[in-house]
A and B are shown apart, each in its own frame.
Chain A
Amino acid sequence: DGGITQSPKYLFRKEGQNVTLSCEQNLNHDAMYWYRQDPGQGLRLIYYSQIVNDFQKGDIAEGYSVSREKKESFPLTVTSAQKNPTAFYLCASSILGGDAGANVLTFGAGSRLTVL
């Protein structure tokens, strides 16, 4: 079945450590996204990528880094520079230009990061 796989589902990190969240899709989608979700808040865009080897900062990119070496993969690194990294992280993908420009996103199941 086509979809998006995020791993790990749960991750604990000590302060000062970098962690990498994995996101893989087999939908053949061009665009991929990382969102952060905090309780009572909407999804906030961290980074997005429309093609391989290219990505753009979203609204809250500070303290995060990404790479897009393959179409299927868009890993997110939460660095020690991120002041408040405890959150639920969601990866998504979409067709570019589908439905006359309306991005319909397919999401993964999410990764919950807790900093101890």
Chain B
Amino acid sequence: SQKIEQNSEALNIQEGKTATLTCNYTNYSPAYLQWYRQDPGRGPVFLLLIRENEKEKRKERLKVTFDTTLKQSLFHITASQPADSATYLCASGSARQLTFGSGTQLTVLP
């Protein structure tokens, strides 16, 4: 069955550094991957979508890459700030439904 996995360990980084989160997928070839941000007790919020034919996508301090050879997407936050602390979810799927990873909890230390 198709699986989408994120490093479930929490990630702590110093303010100003670049945070890099990983999303791996197995047993299928997604046409796109999405990234969401979730704050405690809140619903996820969509951040970025990258398609299989796109190597990289940027939005302000965010960058997403998609490597179909490694079956992996990387999510980068440059010049990180304590306000970036949250859980980040990757997701993929069909036009009917999305499958989500378990998320990576990021803490940016001041």
Chain A interface (Cβ < 8 Å from any Cβ of B)? 4, 33, 35, 40-43, 45, 48, 50, 56, 58, 88, 90, 92, 96-97, 99, 101-110, 112
Contact = CB atoms under 8 A, between A and B. Distances in A.
Contact of B95 (A103, A108, A109): A103
B95 A43 contact: no
B100 A43 contact: yes
Chain B interface category by residue count: 20 to 34
A102 to B, nearest CB: 5
A42 B100 contact: yes
Contacts of B8: 40
A103 B44 CA distance: 14
Contacts of B98: 45, 103, 105
A31 to B, nearest CB: 8
Contacts of A40: 8, 102
16 contacts: A40-B102, A41-B102, A42-B4, A42-B102, A43-B89, A45-B97, A50-B96, A101-B94, A103-B93, A103-B96, A103-B97, A104-B34, A104-B46, A105-B46, A106-B46, A107-B45
